Structure 1
Amino acid sequence: MAAKWSNYKQIIGSVSRSSWPVALGFDVRNRKARRMTASARHGLDLVHQFSDLQAHRNGETTTIVRGEGVHVFDAEGNRYIDAMSGSSCASLGFRDERLVQAMTEQAGKLPYYHLFAQKSHEPAERLARQLSAMAPEHLNHVLFANSGSESNDAAIRIVRAVNISRGKPEKRRVIARHAGYHGSTTLSASVTGQAHMRFGSDSVSPDVSFIPEVCHYRHGHDGESEEAYAARCAAELEAAILAVGPDTVAAFIAEPVMASAGCLLPPKGYFQLVDEVLRRHDVALIADEVVCALGRLDSPFGSTRYGLRPDLMTLAKPLTGGYFPLSAVLMTDEIYDTLTLESAKSGLLGHGLTYGGHPIGCAVASAALEIYAQADFRANLHATIATFERHLAAIADCPIVGETRNAGLLGALEIVADKTTRRRFDAMENVTLKIGRALQKNGVITRWTRETVNLCPPLVISEDELEVLFGALRASLDQVAAEVAHEVEEGQASLA
């Protein structure tokens, strides 16, 4: 290494500064010039996330340049209703002046500070008070991070740390559900039940077990009630705990509603039965409320709507309305007291993020929480949800829609080749992809899974905008249904 460094210094010392790149073997200027045209056209300098990189190479990139209300505009001047609130986070739309003002004012006072080494700042303290006041009464302490992935990662680490403090270091396994999504860090991805989302990991972590996702439409037996199905699902969780030994299981992580999987709703009584199982075996519950919280489900939290009593709750996307990266982990007194005791032994809590609890993000989140709490906002949201539900019910008659479902302003359409048998298309992913592309041509941006078309519009969407959204959705479904009619007809003929 020393010889290489000496050689490097000799080369640098013998040439002018402007010739350094050539002397070192990489003429950055010429290399960039050669590819500048393609790069400018396709954005190849940028590695896009959760995206088909080859499609970007082929020029299939929609560059968004501005937003207003529920609409975004691309570089070609096209306007779209963003029916996914960006990445399920722009709950207040794309240009709320109240959030912009909060951001600007805080940037003018204290643009950055940390929460390390007995330092603090007022925006983080204020936001923590707001969250603990509105959260379920047993969740009184808040740890900040930057994303849902980081918060879920931290929640798992906290549960394991608490068990080490309790003298149970072997109690570290996490049970998660297939089709669930919990993040992209190494730890949060390991509990994500979507294999294609576990980038860079060839196998599931040995400290993670998966059980089936809950969806009565997909997995309920003929004649099985929701309550009976819920009991069967809770029994599957208990069987998974017993299979590896309760003394090894630290936590069960679950979204109140499985959002990215296609708005999979918990069957009636499910979480009450789950709570009994977890308490019986001393297993913590981590409620991933990254999408579900703060009004999305017509409730402050999914946990309150569905009767969860989590030991830890994670928040992110709507916390700042998407205007600044910020997330949170809420925890019980018992967990906080354990962390406090352990930090006293070593002199610090061995966890921290440079930008966790960023003052600008906290200021924006405080402003967002004030908006969510306004009586007029809640009343308008409730009326909007009723309109959303009417439109969903009306579109269920489409021949390729097996079921529509929603919780508040989170919804999905289950796409099938046969409504009676619930048979899927042979190339299922191509059908939902076609629907998504048709929707974008019709002025609506959304997302889809292999089985569903998902909807998560801003909470501020108006009735007129919902009319436009569902008009485009109806037209897109009819278009694709006509294209795949032969497969629907073949399936019906085979049953005749």
Structure 2
Amino acid sequence: MTLSNSVFQSIRNWDNENFLHPWEGMAYLGQNERTFAESGLGVHVVTEDGKRLIDGPAGMWCIQLGYGNTEIADAMAQQAKEMAYFSPFNNANSTPARLAHEIAKRTPGDLNHVFFTTGGSTAVDSALRFVQFRNNLLGKPEKKIVISRQKAYHGSTYLAASVSGKERDKGWLDQASHLTRFLPNVNPYTRRTDQTVDDFLDEKIADLENMILQAGADKVAAFIAEPILCSGGVIVPPLGYHQRCLEICRKYDVLYISDEVVTGFGRLGHWFASEDVFGIQPDIITCAKGMTSGYIPMGACIISERLIADVSGDNAQNATFSNGFTYSGHPVSAAAGLKTIEIMERDGILEHVRAITPLFEERLQALADLPLVGDARGMGLVGCVECVADTEADNLLDLDKSVGAMIDHHCQENGLILRPIINMCVFSPPLIITEGELNEMFDILEKGIRLATDDLTRQGVFNA
């Protein structure tokens, strides 16, 4: 919808005065000039002034099937007409029951128990609470520590935020620090210049084992890991990392939680990346985002038969897993999830992602040759370009933020939305993106980086 200037200015004022956004920079509260995405079709969104932009991040990693998909919208509307809500505490409904079954058919190994949540953060919180619950029933109340990584992001609810390792997100908020331990960055780009990738990998595996031994295997409950550390800058661990981490976990009776909130439902060309891409069968998988193609909130914590058996039936001790949400298994969300799965299978979306990935990776790696780019990395349809202007600057953080903002500005001027994370440009387009649209996206991104390079050169903070 295109709004008149007078009407839109009132709405912008209301947005600044009344809508407290996620990750709000409080110093600029009420002064933001955000872009309004008012409509969308396919891989494009349309802004308040009618400008058409490729949605590089697919919303927040989630618009798998693009905008304006009437099949998903119609399925949601029909479900809302028939049964808009049921209490998951007291009743059941066929739509989420069917979705749970369809998800369980696609998970690795014996991960057959689907606990529905409201999103990724509550999925991770539920996974961690289940781990605590299980250990309490097993008579291991001290086995509660969760190991994570620097740069990992697992959500913004209390426990999920506590196991997130993005240091700049943790400065002003409390967390359950007594329950967490963090391992060093697993990004191969950060390794020493004299260190091979294989040696770096050995070091990262040793980090995990040493942390378990330091904390005490009887105290460590779980290791939580994203297949790719997406919000941390699309960090792809070295080949074999996840398999070797799982071996360490099995050695010390530590559960492995695979956080597939981003990578699940097609982002890497498979329903789930844990087994099909990285060769592991975790104990718990968390997912959200793409499971409804972003059309309505929903998440899930998927738990293995082995873990459930420890706390059910004759082992239940009359315990109740007292964790849940008013909107667990919401039927309208479940209808969106079922329709998303149906469309992805009918239209061969997973196959399309695998087919277009080589072009994506080719165009991504070509950006590494640009003078401003320090690293270009990614996998499947998720990528990151990390830019480096002046490593000797006194105000390095401010400079890095300005670099990301410059590239974002130039890209948006030329028809592309990015997700700037300090000096990194992150993108994960809708899975339906065509070859032509993908080339256009990278053409604009390259132009944006070149224009930002010119800006920095004129400012005297970069010398190509």
Equivalent residue number for residue 86 of structure 1: 59
Within-5 A mapping of 1:375-454: 376-417=348-389, 427-454=399-426
Determine the structure 2 residue equivalent to 1:455.
Answer: 427
Residue 45 of structure 1 is matched in structure 2 by 18
| Structure 1 residues 120 and 325: alpha-carbon distance in aligned structure 2, compared to 1, 3 A threshold | same
Contact 1:38 1:44 in 2 (8 A): no
Q: Does 1:97 align with 2:70?
A: yes
CA separation of 1:447 and 1:51: change in aligned 2, threshold 3 A: farther
Matched-pair contact (CA < 8 Å) for 2:353–2:431 = yes
SS at match of 2:154: coil
**In structure 1, what is the equivalent of residue 261 of structure 2?**
290
Is 1:137 the counterpart of 2:109 in the alignment?
yes
1:201-251 Cα deviation digits (max 9, x unpaired): 2466111001112111112x3353323221110100111111111111100
Does residue 246 of structure 1 match 2:198?
no
- How far the C-alpha of 1:199 sits from its partner, in A, is 7.3
**Which residue number in structure 1 is paired with residue 447 of structure 2?**
475
The 5 Å alignment of 1:312-327 reads 312-327=284-299
Q: Distance in 2 between matches of 1:60 and 1:136?
A: 45
Report the counterpart of residue 160 of structure 1 in structure 2. 132
Deviation at 1:64, TM superposition (A): 1.7
Deviates more, 1:145-154 or 1:438-447: 438-447
Q: Confirm whether residue 267 of structure 1 aligns to residue 238 of structure 2.
A: yes
- Partners of 2:397 and 2:288 lie apart in 1 by 35
8 Å Cα contact 1:121-1:359 kept in structure 2: yes
Determine the structure 2 residue equivalent to 1:196: 168
- Provide the rounded CA distance (Å) in 1 between the counterparts of 2:150 and 2:310: 31
Tell which deviates more after alignment, 474-483 or 436-445: 436-445
CA drift at 1:375: 6.1
Distance in 1, matches of 2:204 and 2:106, equals 30
| Deviation at residue 401 of structure 1 after TM alignment | 0.9
Q: What are structure 2's unaligned runs of at least 5 residues? A: 1-8
Deviates more, 1:49-58 or 1:268-277: 49-58
TM-score for the superposition, normalised by structure 2: 0.91
Aligned mates of 1:425, 1:109 — CA distance in 2 = 53
CA offset at residue 487 of structure 1? 3.3
Amino acid at match of 1:315: C
Alignment correspondent of 2:4: none
Structure 1 residue 332: Cα displacement: 0.8
Q: Which residue of 1 aligns with 2:148?
A: 176
% identical equivalent positions: 34
**Alignment partners' CA distance in 2, 1:189 and 1:164:** 22
- Counting only pairs closer than 5 Å after superposition, residues 7-26 of structure 1 correspond to structure 2 as none
Aligned to 2:177, the other structure's residue is in SS state coil
Q: What TM-score do the two structures reach when normalised by structure 1?
A: 0.86
Amino acid across the alignment from 2:330: H
Q: Aligned to 1:63, which of 36, 58, 80?
A: 36
Going from structure 1 to structure 2, the CA distance change for 1:38 and 1:138 (only over 3 Å counts) comes to closer
Question: Structure 1 residue 235 and structure 2 residue 206: aligned?
Answer: yes
Which letter does structure 2 place at the counterpart of 1:135?
A: T
CA distance in 1, matches of 2:348, 2:122: 33
TM-superposition CA deviations, 1:112-161 (whole Å, max 9, x none): 112213x2110111011111111102211110001100000000010111
- Kindly indicate whether the alpha-carbon contact (under 8 Å) linking 1:400 and 1:418 is maintained by their aligned counterparts in 2: no
CA shift, 1:58, in A, is 2.1
Distance (whole Å) between structure 2 residues aligned to residue 407 and residue 59 of structure 1: 33
Match of residue 111, structure 1, among 84, 98, 101: 84
Contact 1:256 / 1:292 at 8 angstroms: preserved in 2? Answer: yes
Q: How much does 1:196 deviate?
A: 3.3
Q: Retained in 2: the 8 A contact 1:227–1:270?
A: no
Q: 1:273 is matched by which residue type in structure 2?
A: R
What is the aligned counterpart of 1:331 among 300, 303, 325?
A: 303
In structure 2, C-alpha distance between the alignment counterparts of 1:238 and 1:163, rounded to whole Å: 21
Matched residues in 1 for 2:314 and 2:52: separation? 53
CA contact (8 A) 2:159 2:176 kept: no
Task: Note closer, same or farther for the CA distance 1:239–1:56 as it changes in structure 2 (3 Å cut).
Answer: same
Secondary structure in 2 matching 1:427: helix
Specify whether residues 426 and 75 from structure 1 end up closer, same or farther in structure 2 by C-alpha distance, changes over 3 A only.
Answer: closer
Matched residues in 2 for 1:436 and 1:426: separation? 15
- Spell out the pairing of 1:303-318 with structure 2 (5 A cutoff): 303-304=274-275, 305-318=277-290
Question: Distance in 2 between the 1:363 and 1:488 partners?
Answer: 51
**Amino acid of the structure 2 residue aligned with 1:480:** A
Structure 2 CA distance for partners of 1:38 and 1:445, relative to 1, 3 Å: closer
1:358 CA displacement: 0.3
Which secondary structure does the structure 2 equivalent of 1:465 belong to? helix
**Which digits, 9 at most, give the CA deviation of each residue in 1:450-494, with x for residues without a partner?**
3421111100111221222112111110111112234343xx8xx
8 Å contact 2:268–2:353 — kept in the other structure? no
Is 1:487 the counterpart of 2:461? The answer is: yes
Whole-Å Cα distance in 2 between the matches of residues 293 and 406 of structure 1? Answer: 15
C-alpha distance in 2, partners of 1:123/1:426?
Answer: 49
- Runs of 5+ consecutive residues of structure 1 not aligned to the other structure: 1-35
The match for 1:208 among 173, 176, 180 is 180
- How far the C-alpha of 1:326 sits from its partner, in A, is 0.6
